[in-house]
Every structure is written in C-alpha cells, then in structure tokens.
Chains A and B, each alone.
Chain A
C-alpha cells in the first residue's frame, strides 16, 4: 500500500515537473473523455435505462399488421376483441390524440390531450400525485367530463395550485372536472398534457366523435398498449396474438382481410428509430477517445525515451518488471483521472448543448444529464484510458535493457519505440479517415436532402394549427374556418391564406382506401382536406385540370384533386381528369377528380411522395386544420400576433397552436439527420486534428533523433529541400499506410451508417477520395513543419549535438 502511495506521489511530482506535457495530455484526454461522457449520458438514459414505469420491460405496443407489415395503430373493434380473447396480457389499454382548446379566463391554449380507456394509467403503473386517475365509471356518458392533468400543464397553466383538483376547466368549449394530476415525466405517448375518458369506454373516432366507435373495425386510429403477464414470454404472447389475428381475419373477411396483429416492446417503440444514430455516435466518440489515447501513448513513449535513464537505474536497483509497470501505469492512470475530471466538467457543459442540437426523440428524455451511472462511466473510462495509453509505453520501458543503458549512456535504444510510435500514427490516421468518411457521407447526404424539392415553396410561409371543439357540428366548423380564412386574408402583409388537414412535414398522416370503376383492385392513398387557396398559398403547382372552387361547395358532386403520384399509379398513361374514385373511405363516397397537382414530400424530404387525395373543406370536414399564410415580407413570423387576433375575433376560445414557419418545419424534419451529421463532423474534425498533432509529434521526435544524420547529410552536400523531402517522405509513408488501412476499414464500417444516408452510396468513391485528399493535405502540413525545422539545422551544430 505504501508502495502505491509512493507511486501516486511520484506520479503527481512527474506531472508538476512537466507542466507542458501534463497540460497537453490532460486536455487531449479531457476532450476525449468529456465527449464520450456527454454522448454516453444520452445513450445511458435513452438506451440503457428502463422507461420510468414499473416493470416497463413488460409493457408493449400492440398494433395491426397489414399483409404481415407492422403498422402503428388499431381499430376499436379489433382492440376490444384482442382484449377479450387474449390470455397473455395482464392489462390492455387504448388511446388516441385528443387536441384540446383549454380556455380558462382570457388565456386559451391548444394543448396535447389524450383520450384513453380507464385502464391506461394502471397499465403503466403510475399513480397520480394529486387526486385520482380515471375509473371505469368515468367511461360512461354523463360521467365522462373528467380530466387528469399532466404535471407540466398543471405547473405551466395552473401554477401548480393543489386546489386545481376538483375545479372545472373549459376544454373544447365544455366543462371538465379535474380529478387528478400525474407526476412529472409521465409521458407514455406524444400527447401527454392531459387525459380524458371516452363515454364509450373506447376512444371515439376524431372525425366522428359522436358515434359509438366500438363497432368500427375498418378505422384504425387507436394506439394500443398492453402489459404482459409475469410468466408469459414475448414468444408465447406473439403466438397467441397471431392465432387471434387469424381467427378475426376469418370472422371478418371484409374488414380484417390481410389484417393481423403484432407487438413491440415499449422501449423499442420509443427509442427504436434513434438507437442506430446513438450507437453510431457512441462508436464515433469512442474512436475519437482512442485516437486521443494513441496521441497520449505517443507522448508517453517519447517521454519514456527521455526517462530511459531513470527506468534503467530503477531496474538496476532491483525494481521488478511488475513494480515498474505499476509505477508507470499509476502515472498514466493519474493523468487519465485528471483528464477524466476535466472531461466530466466539459461534459456537464456539453450535455445541454448536445440536447439543444438533438431531435425530439432524445429531448423527450428529461432525465438526461450527469447521474451516478454517467459518473461511474466517466471514472471507468478514465481508468481504462490510463491503462490503454499507458500500457504500451510502460511495457516497453519496463522491458528496456539496463545494461544497454550502461553501455550507451543516456541514449538507450529508441528503434523499437520509433516503430511503435509509427504504428500508433498509422492507426490514428486510419481511424480518423473512418470518421471523416462517415462524416463526409452524412454531410453529402444532408446536402442532397436539402436539395430535394419538397413540392412546395417554403419561403415566407407562416403555419399554425386551429380547431373547434368536437362538440361543434360540421356547418359550425366550416363557417368558423371560412370566417378565419377571410379575416386572415384581409390582414396587411398577407399574400394568400390556405388551410389543410395535414400539413407537409408537420407529422401525422391519414389514409383511405378506394376503388376505381372498371379496375378490380383496392387502392389506398393519403387523404387531405384543404381550402380552395391552399395550393396557391403553398406554391404547389397545378399540373392538370382545375383547382377547387367556391362553386364546388354548393354542388352535390364530391370533387377531388389528386397528386401526380396517384395519377401515375392508378391511371398510368391516362388522363385522370373526370375519372371517379369509388368506395372512398368508410362512408363509401364517390369522388370525381377535377385536378392533378405536383407531388409533395409529406412524411419527410427523404421519403418518396405517396399517392394523395385532396378533398375540399366544406365537402369534407376535419376536426382541426393547419393554416398556411404566405407573407409579403421576408419575416413571416411578424404576422403571428395579427393572426391570433384575427382568429380570436371569430372565436375567443380558439388559440393558435404549433406556430412555425415552413422553413422551421423543414428544419425540424431533418433534425435527426442534422444532429448525427453535426456530431459526426465535429468528432471527425477533432479526430483529424488529433491525428495531425500525433503525426507532428512523431515527426518532430524523429527529426530530433535524426539531427546528427541530417547534419551529416547536409555536410555531405544535401540541400535543405532534400532534407525536407527526406522527412516529409518518411511521414507521408505513414500517412499513406494509414489512409490505406482506413479506406479498407471504412469500406466495412460505413455499411453501419448506410441506413442514415440519402441519395448516396456508403462506398461513394468521391467522398472517399475527397476525404483522403483532405486528410493527406492536413497530414502534409503536420509533416512539413518538423521537416522544415530539421532542414534549418546548422550542420556544424547538428554534428556537435551528439
């Protein structure tokens, strides 16, 4: 123990003795460990922590499948059958988004509500912090106007007043009694600001809120949740659900044709999409850390050469190899712990910035930060780093032959260390190339994505969401929207105004099935309901036929405008204008196509346009709409307050929600890609700089070792350019080997990010070549500087030097 204390004291003394070395080492490690800790803090909370519900690993998301492909939702009738017929779930619950206008006093607000079955809270195993959850008795007409508030809404809107429970609040124009408040961080879905029951037990259909949904088998809009019984394995549950699905398909051959049922663990459902991104980033940052370790190992090797005399003396005096190893590793671990300490501070600062850059899938994990696990990780990472970068120099130093030292004085043998340092530099260059190629591919993908034509003109567009309560009828809703459109259009600085049920890139989608007379085939398409001026406002081009017109509203003919994708899919080589779409949706409507518009990237810029059918608002209804306003000025957001006043002038209880410019929506839609691209680019940049520093260090050391040789060469007539070429050639050989090794490694590794690429192959030769040239150029300068210094040596001084 006293030996360890001695080693520790000596390590501290070594650090004090070489402040420059200590500074560079600690900074390098702090960068590496800090970045790794910051990324790990996200990975830890998102991927490694269970969700904050008791036995959350037994909660699953159940959904219908179509032709074996998993969907995300289910119809009420199928949900009820699954719940009744299964023996594998302890509990099942269903929910759907229920956007609500919350109006207390003069502050209406659009909030994200959820309509749920009463079992919803007990399934997640979370109890309210105030009042109660929902009871079976609440899910009946007359008792259903009760609401449970989310913690965030309770704090934000009600100031955390404990007296809120028992009060009545106005939701969608109706009185609801607050019965409870849920704890913070309870957000099983995307809507968790408040929860209400349905008078039918099962959440009603958003477009038919007054109809009993329990018989709806062809309208899938429910999110279904279940908790596996303790003894049931996922395989058993899957087998039983499969049986139930096939039974229902036979029993309801029309509605449940090709419909099955599957489930996904809740954690997988919540984090599944972001997992590959986080794993790639974690791998990238670990590579940066490894490169940092290689740099520090190189510094230690150089120092070991300087300390050869000391090590030899210790060996001569009887220090065993283990003892020397222990001392040298203690020194490197102490360095690493100091680096880790600063790295931790760096991580504390970096995590909020990381979260600010991150997509919502990550930001929803509010607990992300430096917790006990992250601290332990940082400590462990420091220890491992200390051993990783310290082991090789320590082994080499402990193996040095003291008799060589006695014979050679202070020079000792440096040939082997030189080889090791070269190998480390080759590894650094290779690993940097892998990261640079990855970053290059993502940057190029992002650039290609941003070049994609979304199908509309996003410039100067302000968008927001408005909706009337579901208790209002279709005529009232249409009148409201028409009045709102007229008042918005009249605002100064507004060029045009349109509204649509589903705005591109704003999330959410709706689909309908339909047929075409004379074709024995079922089609499906995304459905939108829009106003007459929507296409003009959005800049979506009309390719054929005509736009909706006011006269369509008075006509008995249900008109439709389809997009180019649908026209090509359903009417290839034909003119779709005037053609009919029959059996449209659950009401079996017949629509007549009057126009064809250009394709719009609705789901994402990276997703090919789906077939779309637009109906005219007024002929079809929708519970809430997105309004798009084209501004005459460059700052579309300046219209916000006027727009809010205009809407309030029509109905004072209707707030504007989700106010964003179209450019913001586009930016949000690529946030995950931007996040991974930015981080990987930062990591790759750091890796490249570290590799260049490592190369610079090795070449400087090599030049110092070759001072006498350089002096002899110059004495024999070598010119300075000859010496520069000699040194640069030596360094560039290492770089070339690193680039070759890195290219081979990249070809294997970039497959891991193939799923994150867009419009580019994972082996894009231009990216590979560009990155190699960039790295080669940076490496050239890292070589050139020590080479120039070597060439500036006075041959007489160099020869006296030895």
Chain B
C-alpha cells in the first residue's frame, strides 16, 4: 500500500497525475532572516490516490499542503492541478479552484461557531455562482448523510463532540464534490476512537474513488494511505533516509 518516494518519477510518467509539483521551493522572509520551508520538492499525486505526508515538526508538511491547497504560493517551481498550471493564478481564480476542486479537512475542524451544521456544510456551496438552492440542499444533505450527521443539521458546532465536528468538516469538504481532499492532521484533536472513525471514513471515501492527501505525523494513520511521502527539512526523503536523519538528530 505504501510506496517509496523514490518511485515518483516512474508514477509521473506512468499515469496522468492530478497534482504535479516539480522543483518547488518556499522561502519565508522575516526581517533579515530567510527560512527555507521547502527546497526542491518534486511530487505527483494521481487521481484516486491516497497519499500521506509525514515528517517531524517544522519539516514543511503544512506549508506544502497550503501550497497544494492554493492557500499559499511557492517562491519558485511549478505546480499543476488537473493539468492546469496554478502557481501564478490571481486571488479570484485561486478562490474559485479552492471552492470547486479542493476539499479541506483541518486538525481543529475549523467550523464556524455561529453557523449550524447545515450552514457550515452549505457554506462553500454558497460561494458558487448561480447554484440553485435546491441543488445546494441536496448536496448538503447527501454529504451529511454520508458522514452520518444528517440528524444534527440544526445543531451548532459547540453542541457536538470533537469526532462529530470532524465528521461535519469532512461533509463540508465532500459537499463541493472536489477533485482532491486535503487533510491536515485530521485526527490531531481527536481521541483514538474518534481518530480511528475518521480514518475509516477517509478510507471509505478513498475506496469510492476520492483522491486524498493527508498530513500526519502519526505512523498508525499514515499506514492507511497507499503511499507515504516523507519530508525532512523541506525536502522529500526516502523512509530509510528519514529514519537515519531522525536518528542522527536525536543523537
């Protein structure tokens, strides 16, 4: 199920990738300090693939996920999503793609406390031009039923458990029928039982054809993915190399 990062080149050539990143770097400038968060990342994710990104804190996982999710822009390098170059799009076009192509699942759920469960799931759909209310409602209910939260439509996030909130967040990500689900430590704020439940839900979605890219530092959950991409100091490294580097660091 898990492939090594070394097989990337083979995969890119083999199939039509949904996400293709080449030689991507991200540098943060604060005052006179340059922080190289990502250095020469090459990554390809095929349609229907379930990829886990792991690595120690500060290795650049979340930065890479932000760039993949068009929440941030790379300093250099190429990034194409669904065959379209996206690294230099303007804000409006990036918003549109985020809204239609990408579903986000966050560690801290990021539901809006003032909105009901229904409204939270409906929210990304309200940003779509000319989507009839009836279609929206059908999509919202379908997504909530998919995650088993249809009976809680009138509840507010504060009235739900952490696991339930994350299921609502997954429903929100699913409602827009995105090309890819990006999950950033989706189990980080959950106990093990709820964490497992969410992982099973993602697994199930993947079996139904969803493309998933998940950031996690928990090896138990990383194993759910087909492939694991290891990051260390802003670079993609092989699993063995990562172990060696981690050992050196701790020594």
B69 within 8 A of A: yes
A316 partner, pick from B69, B100, B126, B133, beta carbons under 8 A? B69
Known: A320-B95, A321-B95. A403 touches B110 (CB 8 A): no
B123–A406 CB distance below 8 A: no
Q: How many residues of B contact A (CB 8 A)?
A: 31
Whole-angstrom CA separation of A407 from B184 in the bound complex: 11
A320–B112 CB distance below 8 A: no
Whole-angstrom CA separation of A486 from B143 in the bound complex: 103
A316–B62 CB distance below 8 A: no
A14–B114 CB distance below 8 A: yes
Please report whether the interface of chain A is mostly helix, strand, loop or mixed according to DSSP.
Answer: helix
B106–A317 CB distance below 8 A: no
Closest to A319 in B: B127
Say how far A313's CB is from chain B's closest CB, in angstroms: 5
Contacts of A3 in B (CB 8 A): 126
B124 within 8 A of A: yes
Task: Give chain A interface residues in 80-114, CB to chain B under 8 Å.
Answer: none
B167 within 8 A of A: no
A313–B112 CB distance below 8 A: yes
Say how far B121's CB is from chain A's closest CB, in angstroms: 10
A320 partner, pick from B69, B92, B114, beta carbons under 8 A? B92
Interface mask (B87-118 → A, CB under 8 Å = 1, otherwise 0): 00001100111111000101010111110000
Contacts of B91 in A (CB 8 A): 320-321
A17 within 8 A of B: yes
Say how far B122's CB is from chain A's closest CB, in angstroms: 9
Whole-angstrom CA separation of A717 from B216 in the bound complex: 42
Whole-angstrom CA separation of A121 from B101 in the bound complex: 78
Task: Give chain B interface residues in 226-248, CB to chain A under 8 Å.
Answer: none
B2 within 8 A of A: no
A402–B123 CB distance below 8 A: no
Task: Give chain A interface residues in 390-408, CB to chain B under 8 Å.
Answer: 401-403, 406-407
Whole-angstrom CA separation of A85 from B133 in the bound complex: 78
B98 partner, pick from A316, A321, A323, beta carbons under 8 A? A316
Whole-angstrom CA separation of A315 from B70 in the bound complex: 11
A317–B66 CB distance below 8 A: no
A403 partner, pick from B72, B111, B123, B126, beta carbons under 8 A? B72
Whole-angstrom CA separation of A159 from B72 in the bound complex: 81
Whole-angstrom CA separation of A402 from B91 in the bound complex: 12
A6 within 8 A of B: yes
Known: A6-B126, A313-B112. A406 touches B99 (CB 8 A): no
A17–B98 CB distance below 8 A: no
Interface mask (A297-317 → B, CB under 8 Å = 1, otherwise 0): 000000000000110111111
B127–A317 CB distance below 8 A: yes
Contacts of A323 in B (CB 8 A): 127
B172 within 8 A of A: yes
Known: A318-B96, A321-B91. A406 touches B106 (CB 8 A): yes
Whole-angstrom CA separation of A312 from B63 in the bound complex: 16
Contacts of B172 in A (CB 8 A): 317
B9 within 8 A of A: no
A641 within 8 A of B: no
Say how far B114's CB is from chain A's closest CB, in angstroms: 6
Closest to A323 in B: B127
Interface mask (B58-84 → A, CB under 8 Å = 1, otherwise 0): 000011001001011000000000000
B104–A401 CB distance below 8 A: no
Whole-angstrom CA separation of A611 from B143 in the bound complex: 95
Interface mask (B161-178 → A, CB under 8 Å = 1, otherwise 0): 000000000001000100
Task: Give chain B interface residues in 143-162, CB to chain A under 8 Å.
Answer: none
A316–B104 CB distance below 8 A: yes
A319–B95 CB distance below 8 A: yes
Say how far B125's CB is from chain A's closest CB, in angstroms: 9
Task: Give chain B interface residues in 15-66, CB to chain A under 8 Å.
Answer: 62-63, 66
A52 within 8 A of B: no
Interface mask (A11-35 → B, CB under 8 Å = 1, otherwise 0): 0011001000000000000000000
B126–A402 CB distance below 8 A: no
Whole-angstrom CA separation of A317 from B104 in the bound complex: 8
Say how far B57's CB is from chain A's closest CB, in angstroms: 12
Contacts of B124 in A (CB 8 A): 317-318
Contacts of A2 in B (CB 8 A): 133
* Contacts from A to B (Cβ < 8 Å): 2-3, 6, 10, 13-14, 17, 309-310, 312-323, 401-403, 406-407, 409
* Contacts from B to A (Cβ < 8 Å): 62-63, 66, 69, 71-72, 91-92, 95-100, 104, 106, 108, 110-114, 123-124, 126-128, 133, 172, 176, 184
Query: Sorted from nearest, which 3 A-B pairs have the closest CB atoms?
Result: A318-B99, A403-B72, A403-B66
Q: List 15 A-B contacts (CB under 8 A).
A: A2-B133, A10-B114, A313-B111, A313-B112, A314-B123, A316-B98, A317-B99, A318-B96, A318-B98, A318-B176, A320-B91, A320-B96, A323-B127, A403-B71, A406-B106
Q: A6-B126, A403-B71 given. 6 additional CB < 8 A pairs?
A: A10-B114, A314-B123, A315-B95, A316-B98, A321-B92, A403-B63
